[in-house]
Amino acid sequence: MTSWSPPELTPEVRARVNRRISELYERHRHADAEVASYYVSGQGYISGDAAGGAADTFGVALTSMDGETFGAGDDNVAFPLQSLSKVFVYGLALDDHGREAVHRHVGVEPSGDAFHTISFDERRHIPHNPMVNAGALATTDLVMGADGEERLARIVDLLRRCAANPTLEPDQEIFDLEVASADRNRATAYLMRSEGMIGDDVEGTLALYLRQCSVKVTARDLAVMAATFANGCRNPVSGEQVLPRSIARDLLTVMYTCGMYDFAGEWAYDVGVPAKSGVSGGIMACIPGKMGTGLFSPGLDPYGNSVRGVNVCHEVSERLGLHVFATDDEDAMIGPSAGDADPADIPRTG
C-alpha cells in the first residue's frame, strides 16, 4: 500500500479545483431545495416570503493544505458565526484546562435533541456536548481571563488566528438583537447555575456567549478556519499553530459526532466529514489532511442547518469522494486520479 499526500497546487490542479467549485456553485445555486425557515437576529425563524433577497445568497469556498483559497458566488458576504463559534471556544477551554477538566463540565455524547433543547446528561449531571447551547454556555464559562473583556479578547483573538484575518470582530447590532431575544438561553443558563453547572455570573457568561456568536465571517474565512482544524490546528495560510495539535483530534471528533445537532448521525453516515453549522446559514467542514470548506446560504432545513450547505457537502462526499472513510483513489478533487476523473462517473453510495 503506497502513501499519498495532497499535491502541490500546480496550474493543472488549480484549474481543476476552480472548475469543481464553479460546478458545485452553479448546480446548487439553481437546484430546487425545500427551505423550512430563515433565521434573523431579534426575530427568530421567519418564512421564505419574509426573507427577501437573503434567499438567493449563496457562497462556497475551499482552502487547501498549502493555504490557497478558492471560492464562488457570495463567498465574501459576511454573516454572524452563531453556533459555529462553539467549536473554537471548546478548543480554547481545552487549551486552558485540559480535556479531563473540561469533560467534568461538559460531555461528548450526541444528545439526539435540537440544539436549543433544555436537557442534560442525567447520569453525569452535565450538558451532553459542547455543540448544543447548554454545553456551549459551559465551555464559554470555562474560558480564562481577568474579566469579561479579557475573555472576549481571547476568544476573538483565536477566531482571528484561525481565519488568518485580523479584522474579525463582534457585530454590536447583532449582539444587541440577540440579547433582547435571549430568553431561552437565559433560562438555560440560570437553570445550569442552580444545578452547579456554571459559575455565579450568569449574565456575564450569557453576554460573552452571545458576543462570540455575533462575530462576523465570510465563507472564505470559514474555509480557512476549517482548513486550520483539518491541518492539525496549524493555519495553512499563516503557518501559525493556533492550538496544540492534540486538540485538533478532540475538535474534529466532536464535530463529527455532534456538530450537526440531531442530524449528526445521518450526517456522519452519509456525508462523513467533521462539520459544524450555524443558524445564520454557515457550515464549515473539515477533510483532515486535505482541505477545509466554508459555505453560506441562509435557507435552513428543519434541523437548523443550511439546505444548500448540506446538499453541497453531500455532493462533495459522494460525487467527489471526500468522505473521511473514502480511499484516496475516490478523491476526484485533489486525489491521485483526480485529473482523469469525471465526478458524474463516480459511483454514488447509498
333 has pLDDT over 70: no
Note the pLDDT tens digit of each residue in 227-236. 999 999 999 9
Query: What mean pLDDT comes out for the span 11-25?
Result: 88
Dihedral angle over CA of 295, 299, 301, 307, nearest 10:
-40
Distance set, CA 194 to CA 163, 189, 191 (Å): 37, 9, 5
Query: What mean pLDDT comes out for the span 150-155?
Result: 98
Catalytic residue among 261, 280, 310, 317: 261
For 281, list phi and psi in degrees, rounded to 5.
110, 10
Please indicate whether residue 45 is annotated as part of the active site. no
What pLDDT, on a 0 to 100 scale, did the predictor assign at position 3? 42
Distance set, CA 64 to CA 177, 178, 240, 250, 312 (Å): 36, 34, 15, 21, 17
Please indicate whether residue 237 is annotated as part of the active site. no
Which residue type, as a one-letter code, is found at position 165?
N
Domain boundaries defined on the chain: 11-345
Please indicate whether residue 279 is annotated as part of the active site. yes
| Beta carbons of 270 and 317 less than 8 angstroms apart | yes
Please indicate whether residue 216 is annotated as part of the active site. no
pLDDT-derived band at 222, boundaries 50, 70, 90: very high
5 or 2: which leads in pLDDT: 5
E-only strand ranges, 194-281: 216-217, 275-277
Q: Give Cα 168 to chain centroid, integer Å.
A: 16
Catalytic residue among 86, 89, 108, 310: 86
Catalytic residue among 209, 215, 256, 316: 209
Please indicate whether residue 209 is annotated as part of the active site. yes
Catalytic residue among 37, 41, 64, 83: 83
262 has pLDDT over 80: no
**Helix-then-strand count for the chain, H and E:** 12, 9
Assigned C-alpha cell, 282: 454557515
**Angle 129-58-323 (CA atoms, 0-180°, nearest 5)?**
50
350 has pLDDT over 50: no
pLDDT-derived band at 175, boundaries 50, 70, 90: very high
Which residue type, as a one-letter code, is found at position 78?
A
Assigned C-alpha cell, 308: 444548500
Note the pLDDT tens digit of each residue in 281-327. 999 999 999 899 999 999 999 888 999 999 999 888 877 677 666 66
Average pLDDT for the chain: 88
Catalytic residue among 215, 217, 273, 279: 279
Note the pLDDT tens digit of each residue in 97-127. 999 999 999 999 887 666 667 778 888 999 9
Query: What mean pLDDT comes out for the span 152-167?
Result: 98
**Beta-bridge partners for 40:** 44
The CATH classification number of 11-345 equals: 3.40.710.10
Which pTM does this prediction carry? 0.89
